[in-house]
Every structure is written in structure tokens, then in C-alpha cells.
Structure 1
Amino acid sequence: MTTGTLIRARGATRPANRPAWPTVLAMHLLPAAATFAAALALGPLMRAWHLPPQFALTLAFAFVLTPIELGLLLAAVRAARNLRAAGWSPRRLPEILAFRRRLPLRLYLLILPCLTAMAVGLAMLLAPLERRVLDGYPAGWALPPDSDAYPVATLVATLLVTLLVDGLVNPAVEELYFRAYLLPRLPVRGALAVVTSAGLFAAQHYWQPEKFAFIFLAQLLLIVVMLRVRSVRISIAAHCLTNSLAILFALATVLT
């Protein structure tokens, strides 16, 4: 089965009107741009409150990125003609989303460890490249934060909030927005749609330039798996798992 066939397979919606490229680029790139701007604006406040600078990004995710993406999804529900005729409600959100197939537990137990192992291997492979990028770019958002600069209690508290926001809530909403909603509506098809989706998702991580290659390659793998099983649920689970593991590793580093 080809990638193009997978995108049109059962569990995928077939939007009547696909947005033009300017709209596609805006929907992929502008929410994160607003988020990054909010995080930069919160930087002085973090310093004034003696909090790690990374926590500004967590707050921006919670109060800018996730609300924008959810708002755009709900706006799409309201704009859908068939849903307006039937009576608009936020509970109708699944009706505009693709790849809604439910999966048996055995598939999660089989796929998630494989995806996690591949992500870890990819991260190790790309680590030298990421260090070279960081040498020339003051990223400032990398985890874990400097354990000598802040009290352990402060670091633990901010990382636990980050675990909730960026380990669970934000990646789940991102997968619904980017994969279940935007991917089927791209103006391109087949393998080009997969590459475009992964590339735009990587490009909107403005605060992680050292991670562009990793995010792009990891997303390629994740999208292909999602299309193969026709379920955004597996990509949500994998995204939450990998994000959470990175934050838990940072937490373990702080506590040791």
C-alpha cells in the first residue's frame, strides 16, 4: 500500500476544500511563532522570580500554543457546513479529524517500545551535530537546567509542571492539530505530504534549532507508522512518551 493510499484509507477524512499554501504555512508556523515571542517576553519575569528560563517556554505552551491550536480546531468545527447544519458543538471536534481508528493494546505494546528505541538511537546519532549547532546558537531552553543556579525544590516544581504541559497536554494537542487535522488538508499528496508535514513541524520549533534534524526524522518515522495503522492515537502516545521521558531524565538529573 502506497503512502498516498494510506492517507486516503479508512479513518481519514477527505476535506472538500483544501487551504492554499499561504494558509497552510500560516497554520503550521504562526502559532509557534507567537509562542516563542511569548516565551522571550516572559524571560525577564522568570529572572525576576528566580525561575529557570526554560519555564517561560512551558508557560507559553500552556497559555499560548495549546489554546491557539485548540481554538483553530474549534473554529474549523464551527466553519464546517455539515456540522453547522447539524448543530455546532465542541463535542463534534472528532468529526473534522482524520485517523481516528482505535487500536488494540497489543499494538501499543509492540509499536511504542520500537519507536522509543529508534528515537533514542536517532538522538544519540545526531548528538554531535546538535552540539555543533548549540556552540553557535545561545538556545537557552535546553533541559536540564543548571542545578547549581536554582534550589532543587524550584527545579523539581518547574519540571513537574513541564511534565504535565509538555509531556502530556501539548503533544496530544499537537498531534490532533498537525496530524489528524492539517496533514489530510495539505495541498500535496503521498510521500510529499509526509515530508512536508514533518518538515513544517520541525521548522516551527524555533526554540530548538539544534533539534531540527532530529524532529524532522523522528516525525517522518512517526507519521509513516501512524498512516500504516490509520490511528492518530499511536502518534499521540508516542509523542507524549518521548517528551515525558526527556523531562523525566532531566528530573532524575536534578535529583541525583
Structure 2
Amino acid sequence: MESSFNIEQDQIQLNKQLWYHFYPGLAILITYIIISPYLIEWGYPGLTALLFVELLVLGPIGITHLWSHGKHLNGKPSLKNVIAYTDKLSWKQYLMWTLVGILACTIVYIPLYPLGLFLKDSIFNWLPEWYFDPGYGTSDMDLIAKVFLAAIVIDGIVGPVVEELFFRGYLLPRMAYLKKWAPIVNGLLFGLYHFWQPHNYLAIIGIGIVISFIVWKKKNVYLGMLIHCILNILGALSGFLAANAGEVILR
């Protein structure tokens, strides 16, 4: 995907940036709201719906949009000239910046997670319980554990890879006109795109800004993928281990 293509010639202005950041989230939210009651009624835990939309909505929308832009640039569906920020790094830089990113995201997340729970109970308590409880809809802890096991792959790899390609590999380089504000705006919009987690906006925005800044600074989207995948895998793994112990971690 490396190219001499000048990304400065393919900038996306802020009004389109807003739409491109938000329309996948709107599609995810609508599908999530529609299918969740049915899956819960059939005895599946609430997390199942989110995994479905990551596979059936986020993945197809993200890849189709990227291929479509590639067709506009290259005359055929392709990622050539679409994914920027692919500068080469040494394995030491990958290791260092991945660890820095995970540490920074953890420092941001730890104090904001309980705040999210507070907002859930005080401001967003009108939302259905399956918005917050990944095990809602069943008492079968073995089934919940299996869903978290699937989440290690779907939410831990598939979702983050598509999101990083779309938000940090495609959209972030195309707001270069914002200069040093680009990673901040990108991280903010990435956080707000998570319409299905409004109580966690502050935490997701904070994490989004950290990842966007690292990708922007090193001009390497693969760092974003590594950080994002590792964080999500750890989250899904902790949910799996908790379910095996008979507990469910609220999101």
C-alpha cells in the first residue's frame, strides 16, 4: 500500500469528514437497536448483537468505502493511494510505541471507566440494560463465555483493523490542513462515532486521541492497529475469564 501519491492533493474538508466519521456509527447504532431485542429474546447475551454489527455492518461499510475511494483514485476498486501513514519503522520502534500507547490509553481509561458507570446510572439510565450489560438476556455463563471468546477475534481483531484503516489510515491523513489539531479532531470524532456507548464517550475520546496522535506522529497506521487490537483483546479476554468465574463485567 506504499505509494508516492501526494496525500495533500486528496484532502477531505471538515463537513465531509464529519459525515464520513459518523455515518458508519449511525448504521451500527440502528442495526444494533433493531437486532438486539430479537437476539436477547432468542436467549443470546447482549454482547452478541455488537459482534454481529461489527461483522455485518462495520466491516462491509468500512471496506466498501475504502474500495470506492480507491476506484475514484485509481479507476478500479483498490486500496492503492487510499491508506496513508504506512512509513516503515524498526521492530524496536513498534515495540516502544505500542507499549507507550497501551500505557497512555490505560492511564486515560482507568479514571474514566468509573465515571462512565456513574453517567450510565445518572444520565443514561433511560437506555435499555443491554446497552451496558454484555450478559443481559441469559443466565447461561457458559454461553456468555463463548460469546466473549468470539469477541477476542471479532472485537479484538476484525473491528479494530477496519476502524484503524478507516479512521486513522484513511480519514486522519486527509485532515492534514488542521495541522497539529488533526489527531485531536480525529480522536474526538472517533470517540463520538461510538453512538452505542454514550456513557463511555470521555474514555473513548481520550483513547482515540492517544492512538490518533501516535499514528499521526509516526505516520504509521499499523501502530494504531497494534494498540487498538491489544486493548480490545485484553478487554474481551478479561470478559471471558470473568464469565468463566461466574461474573459479568459491565461495559
The alignment partner of 1:189 has SS state of helix
Counterpart AA for 1:189: L
Please say if residues 145 and 239 of structure 2, whose CA atoms lie closer than 8 Å, have aligned partners that are also in contact: no
Q: 1:208 aligns with which of 188, 197, 203?
A: 197
Q: 1:18 to 1:105 in 2, by over 3 A?
A: closer
**1:47-62 alignment runs, 5 A limit:** 47-62=40-55
| Equivalent in the alignment of 2:102 | 116
In the other structure, the counterpart of 1:103 is 89
Q: Partner residue of 1:72?
A: 65
Shift of 1:199: 1.1
TM-score (norm 1): 0.85
Q: Secondary structure at the match of 2:86?
A: coil
Structure 1 residue 122, shift from structure 2 partner: 1.8
Query: What is the alpha-carbon distance in structure 2 between the residues aligned to residue 132 and residue 46 of structure 1?
Result: 27
Distance 1:69 1:155 in 2: 28
Pick one of 202, 218, 221 that aligns with 1:229.
218
Distance in 1, matches of 2:12 and 2:101, equals 31
Quote the residue 1:5 is aligned against: none
Partner of 2:132: 142
* 1:163 corresponding residue in structure 2: 152
C-alpha contact 2:184 2:213 (8 A) present in aligned 1 = no
Question: Moved runs in structure 1, 4+ residues, more than 6 A?
Answer: none
> Separation in 2 of the partners of 1:65 and 1:14?
25
Q: d(CA) in 2 for partners of 1:144 and 1:186? A: 35
1:42 & 1:214 partners in 2: Cα distance? 26
Q: Counterpart of 1:155 in structure 2: which amino acid? A: I
- Deviations, residues 14-69 of structure 1 (Å, cap 9, x unaligned): 24243343322111101110111101100122122200122111101110111101
CA contact (8 A) 1:12 1:100 kept: no
Q: 1:181 aligns with which of 148, 155, 170?
A: 170
Structure 2 CA distance for aligned equivalents of residues 218 and 245 of structure 1: 15
Q: Distance in 1 between matches of 2:38 and 2:4?
A: 45
Report the Cα distance in structure 2 between the residues aligned to 1:212 and 1:238, rounded to whole angstroms.
19
Residues 1:153 and 2:142 are matched in the alignment: yes
Which one scores higher on RCO, CA 8 angstroms, separation ≥ 6? Answer: 1
When the two structures are superposed, what TM-score results if normalisation uses the length of structure 2?
0.87
2:147, 2:32 → 1: CA distance? 15
- State the match for 2:208 in structure 1: 219
Letter of the aligned partner of 1:97 in structure 2?
A: I
Q: CA deviation at 1:166?
A: 1.1
Is 2:114 aligned against 1:128? Answer: yes
Alpha-carbon distance in structure 2 between the residues aligned to 1:89 and 1:127:
40
Aligned position for 1:30:
23
Give the unaligned 5+ runs of structure 2.
Answer: 246-251
Give the counterpart of 1:255 among 225, 240, 244.
244
- Superposition CA RMSD, Å: 2.2
1:47-97 superposed Cα distances (whole Å, 9 cap, x missing partner)? 2220012211110111011110110000000011xx22xxx253xx14221
